[in-house]
Structure 1
């Protein structure tokens, strides 16, 4: 296995972002889960006693509901204990054997860290500890009878998505207007590159997308972008500290028409929506890509990451006339932008049905990746090859850097090596690509990803929300530090990092 020449960030450095995460952010996340379970239990009691005459009296509800409520109470007790132990830097416990993947992987690494005196909440390397937290939380739920498929972050993801209606409608109208230019775009790379720059930046900034990133796309608007757009690009460029946009476009232009692009997903909700928009642009308006595959997480992960359920539900939410608070009533006539959104999402659904869009696991994959049996007696979902093994689906929720992918998950490595471009979205994927190592900031990205460099065309789109950063000129980093900018962690700055296939550090 590859070992980086520099250490990871010191988790006990009180000035570091990892320490602040353990002290402040994780306890808040645990409190949120506890509150979610408590509210769910309350709703269960209320649904069994609508007039509230016996609210709180568990004996008044049916047996199944009573058992579910009691399981919820036990989950709250466990989570409260976990929060207490975390705040007091207690040793990490072994992940219970819940029959799901990676138990042995996590526990073997924990045993090694413990032997080195790094097996507590404040001493374990941040990347391992944070991944461990979500896998450990999953074991709480996976070993229950009634909460096994419960995503404690689902409500949070949905409410955040619902707040994005204005931006979503505008982007839908933008894509509608692009339709009129489709023929001209496909035959004119000079026009395509203008739209590509807007699309990739929309996808880059994700949840923090500035509505000015995408303008109207009539013929005259495209011409304006070729002039005015240059100024806008220059203004945004100061916040993109490594910018390989042009290299990415030059690579995309070399792809054959039947090429595939892969998205290693980050957040559900609006960011996933922007991923769909970017994917739609690639397969609908360029002659270079014919298929896009999306890679989710199979357990609730880092609060907002996309699960198969989130992926599938996104289509239903976008097509629901009442999902966004600003939506019209059922009797109202939809606005043009709402009609544009409806038409666009129907196109995406047809792409999903025809294999132009695809999820890397079956759409009906439940949390944990269990096997389900259909009405015809056939098994519909098989993503757990072995409970302690690693496969294409479970790799993304392991505790490791991605640079050992070929050894740890050879089937996944082979799959991605056949892709025309693999896009890694977000901060955690960037941390895993670079190992969350304390690289000198000017280290080339090709060096920081270790043996993964050159395995496949690799694009990382990342807004900075953690300490690790590479490929940034030392003088630029020094100037930002001198100004007191929290450029590594604020989300204000970003990195667009590309490595072509076959490239060696």
Structure 2
């Protein structure tokens, strides 16, 4: 873990009434309850697929998750991971580090530990409960919600794919300025797609119902930091066209916005390769896994809508030729801040160094970029990254947690006067850029 005595304290549920406190007290137990209910509702399919062994696995998983929920609600000590999966040792070493940081005064527990750590830990314990309950170990407890989000966003998906196809049809005649304008529009569509976050809505319907393109002008005043021009400059600075990496957030409609942006990057010739980084197991309710990535492209390809299916077929060809690739890494499903990546996951850090631009989608990635600490709102994005900078990077994030940096002096106070919950509603957003090359 990066040692930095000047960094502010980690956000935690210690502060009664804080967003972290309310998340651990209310939202996380609600998510666990929905997971338990999902597993119970599917006991019939477990029986059909696996016989009585499936029913026993269902019972065991529910017992383990119920125990986990009780530990959380009663602020019990955080326990070591016991499933023996390859990342278990990393999680347990992290727990030991947290205990050393807290000293002998108190155990590492749900309400007295960094919020980022315990929230990530809950999802790892869900994975443990399933892994310890074969033959349903590979069951995605969040699949139903992710599928529903996509299906309920069909009109928006069709509208966006039609917009994408119209750009592509006129691509040859576009000027550099027009390319820039389309890039900015699609970057903002990808940004606002991040509002569809099922972990924040505790699994409730949060699909996209309106046209994502027509909404952009009305949403512009809510972008608190807009570094779109810096992102465009970084993207077009390299010759020949290089590689963009997208560290994904949510499946469903948000993933479609990311795929449409990546499609534009390839079709325009701005880049030759896009690498998507997702999660290796179900995570934060709606985060993208390899299965979600393949399923979404398959759904688009099979759609009974010309422009959507055309987009899907092209996306399939990108995957087939290697212009697009999906990758996961254990680091993305661990509680580390990204400033620890170079030390804790040097292979991943080296991969990102080869990119010309890295786009980090969503709120959790922003929390990890900034260490999920109690930063002053006027602190610079560069300072909050605490040395993390494998390549030029940009955070596309709608605000759903109480950490935000890079604002103008006094701006945070003004926003608080207007709405005390401005950091957690998803109403505001940032397109925030940093380049380590600018400091060379």
**Residues 99-138 of structure 1 mapped to structure 2, 5 A cutoff:** 99-101=85-87, 103-114=88-99, 116=102, 117-138=106-127
Q: Write the distance in 2 (CA, Å) between the matches of 1:96 and 1:421.
A: 38
- Once the two structures are superposed, residues 150-176 of structure 1 have per-residue CA deviations (whole angstroms, 9 ceiling, x without a partner) of 111111111111100000010111112
Structure-2 residue corresponding to 1:267: 250
Q: Specify the SS of the correspondent of 1:360.
A: strand
Equivalents in 2 of 1:497, 1:89: separation in Å?
A: 36
Offset at residue 149 of structure 1 (A): 0.9
In structure 2, the partner of 1:214 is: 213
Question: Counterpart of 2:325?
Answer: 358
| Structure 1: distance between partners of 2:63 and 2:209 | 42
Q: Is the 8 A contact 1:7 1:438 kept in 2?
A: yes
Give the deviation of 1:458 after TM superposition: 0.5
Report the secondary structure of 2:237's partner residue: coil
Deviates more, 1:152-161 or 1:428-437: 152-161
Which residue of 412, 434, 440 maps to 2:348? Answer: 412
Is 1:425 aligned with 2:326? no
Q: Which has the larger radius of gyration?
A: 1
Query: Shift of residue 210 of structure 1?
Result: 7.9
Assess if the C-alpha contact under 8 Å between 2:194 and 2:362 holds in 1: no
Q: Secondary structure at the match of 1:263?
A: strand
Following superposition, the deviation at residue 490 of structure 1 comes to: 0.6
Instruction: Give me the TM-score of the superposition, normalised by structure 1.
Output: 0.80
SS at match of 1:253: helix
* Cα distance in 2, alignment partners of residues 65 and 401 from structure 1: 43
Correspondences of 1:67-82 after superposition (within 5 Å): 67-82=53-68
Which residue of 2 is the match for residue 223 of structure 1?
none
| Alpha-carbon distance between aligned partners in 2 of 1:44 and 1:412, rounded to the nearest angstrom | 37
CA offsets 1:244-296 (integer angstroms, 9 cap, x no match): 011111111212233010001100111111000000011102x3211100011
Measure the CA separation in 2 of the matches of 1:138 and 1:449.
Answer: 29
In structure 2, stretches of 5+ residues that fail to align are: 196-207
Deviation at 1:71, TM superposition (A): 1.0
Relative to structure 1, the CA distance from residue 499 to residue 118 in structure 2 (aligned partners, 3 Å threshold; closer, same or farther) is farther
Q: What secondary structure, in the 3-state scheme, does the structure 2 residue paired with 1:502 have?
A: helix
Matched, 1:6 2:3: no
1:213 to partner: Cα distance:
4.5
Q: Work out the CA distance in 2 between the residues paired with 1:411 and 1:110.
A: 23
Deviations 1:438-478 (A, max 9, x none): 1110011011001113x211111010000110001132211
Q: 4+ residue runs of structure 1 moved beyond 6 angstroms? A: none
Q: Distance in 1 between matches of 2:357 and 2:170?
A: 25
DSSP-derived class of the 1:452 partner:
coil
Match of 1:315 in 2: 297
Q: For 1:103-149, what per-residue CA distance to the aligned partner results, in whole angstroms no more than 9, with x for missing partners?
A: 12221222343452251111111011111111122111122321111
Determine if the alignment matches structure 1 residue 278 to structure 2 residue 261: yes
Structure 2: distance between partners of 1:38 and 1:212: 36
Partner of 2:337: 401
Distance 1:359 1:148 in 2: 22
Aligned 8 A contact 2:54 2:135 in 1: yes
Do 1:2 and 1:450's aligned partners in 2 also have CA atoms closer than 8 Å? no
Are the structure 2 counterparts of residues 415 and 36 from structure 1 closer, same or farther at C-alpha, using a change threshold of 3 Å? same
Shift of residue 207, structure 1, vs aligned partner: 4.7
Shift of 1:425: 0.3
Q: Find the counterpart in structure 2 of residue 497 from structure 1.
A: 432
1:164 aligns with 2:184: no
Contact 1:457 1:498 in 2 (8 A): yes
Are residue 196 (structure 1) and residue 183 (structure 2) matched? yes
Aligned to 1:303, what secondary structure does the other structure show? coil
> 1:23 matched to which residue of 2?
25
Does the 8 Å contact 1:404/1:451 carry over to 2? no
Partner secondary structure for residue 387 of structure 2: helix
Compute the RMSD of aligned alpha carbons: 1.9
Q: Would you say how many aligned residue pairs link Structure 1 and Structure 2?
A: 422
Question: Which secondary structure does the structure 2 equivalent of 1:238 belong to?
Answer: helix
Equivalent of residue 223 in structure 2, options 237, 240, 253? 240
Tell whether the 8 Å contact from 2:46 to 2:136 is kept in structure 1 after alignment: no
Structure 2: distance between partners of 1:295 and 1:145: 28
Secondary structure, in 3 states, of the residue corresponding to 1:459? strand
Alignment match, 1:331: none
Structure 1 unaligned spans of 5+: 49-63, 216-228, 322-333, 362-392
- Range that drifts further, 67-76 or 111-120: 111-120
Partner of 1:341: 308
Distance 1:2 1:183 in 2: 51
Measured against aligned partners, the alpha-carbon deviations of 1:343-377 in whole angstroms (never above 9, x if no partner) come to 1110110011001111125xxxxxxxxxxxxxxxx
1:451 matched to 2:438? The reply is no
Return the alpha-carbon distance in structure 1 between the equivalents of residues 347 and 29 of structure 2: 37
* 2:83/2:131 contact within 8 Å kept: no
